[in-house]
């Protein structure tokens, strides 16, 4: 067994004070950091996914329905797209960015971020976003490392975490969601989200 940890969208815009905040975002960022510090040796790879929107079309709306359309968030190379400061990145090996020109929820829609790109939050206002060229998809990157099992944590439980876990199962990985290391958009929908995940073959556990 070779296991990877996928940290999904622990970004400023999804934490308190951000454009599309979850209530527990910052708390979960800190909990993930503590978990990784204690258990990083259980994983052969630790990666992070980021929303990274350039022109995602109808994903952004001035009148969002909060299901298929949302207020603008996580614009590429902006401070809102930056990983939250409570998330310790020391053990993160690679970053996968998704949603540049279309809606994207799953980390498996993400592409490997090249090392030379501008750091989030450092782009001058009005400057063009760099074209990163051809990049490696997450599934190919994991396959190269012979990963068989995946744990998923991050934001938001009922959207991008769920989508990532379901795609992991579909791709043939043994998949777990570490529920207490995730933050939902809606606490009211959490039981339904867990049911959906388990019905799809995802194991949902508490680790704290």
Domain spanning 3-205 has what CATH number? 3.40.50.850
For residue 133, what pLDDT is reported?
53
Query: Percent of the chain beyond pLDDT 70?
Result: 90
Which residue in the list 74, 139, 158, 160 is annotated as catalytic? 160
Which residue in the list 9, 13, 51, 167 is annotated as catalytic? 9
Least confident of 23-37, 113-127, 131-145, 166-180: 113-127
Using CA atoms, how far residue 140 sits from 1, 61, 133, in Å, is 18, 32, 17
Tens digits of per-residue pLDDT, 69-99?
Answer: 888 899 998 999 999 999 999 999 999 999 9
For the question of residue 162 being annotated catalytic, the response is no
For the question of residue 160 being annotated catalytic, the response is yes
pLDDT at 160 over 60: yes
For the question of residue 98 being annotated catalytic, the response is yes
Tens digits of per-residue pLDDT, 99-128?
Answer: 999 999 999 999 999 765 444 444 444 444
Tens digits of per-residue pLDDT, 174-191?
Answer: 999 999 999 999 999 899
Which residue in the list 98, 139, 151, 158 is annotated as catalytic? 98
């Amino acid at each position: 067994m070779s296991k990877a940890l996928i940290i999904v969208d622990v970004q400023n815009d999804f934490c308190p004070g951000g454009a599309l905040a979850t209530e527990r975002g910052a708390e979960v960022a800190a909990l993930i950091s503590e978990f990784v510090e204690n258990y990083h040796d259980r994983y052969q790879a630790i990666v992070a996914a980021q929303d990274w929107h350039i022109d995602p079309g109808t994903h952004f709306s001035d009148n969002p329905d909060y299901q298929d359309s949302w207020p603008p968030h996580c614009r590429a190379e902006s401070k809102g797209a930056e990983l939250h400061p409570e998330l310790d990145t020391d053990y993160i090996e690679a970053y996968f960015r998704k949603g540049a020109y279309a809606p994207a929820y799953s980390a498996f829609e993400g592409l490997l971020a090249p090392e030379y790109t501008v750091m989030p939050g450092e782009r001058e206002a009005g400057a063009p976003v760099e074209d990163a060229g051809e990049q490696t998809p997450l599934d190919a990157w994991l396959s190269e490392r012979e990963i068989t099992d995946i744990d998923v944590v991050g934001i938001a439980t009922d959207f991008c975490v769920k989508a990532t876990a379901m795609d992991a199962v579909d791709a043939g990985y043994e998949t777990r969601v570490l529920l207490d290391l995730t933050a939902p958009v809606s606490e009211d929908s959490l039981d339904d989200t867990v049911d959906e995940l388990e019905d799809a073959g995802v194991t949902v556990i508490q680790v704290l």
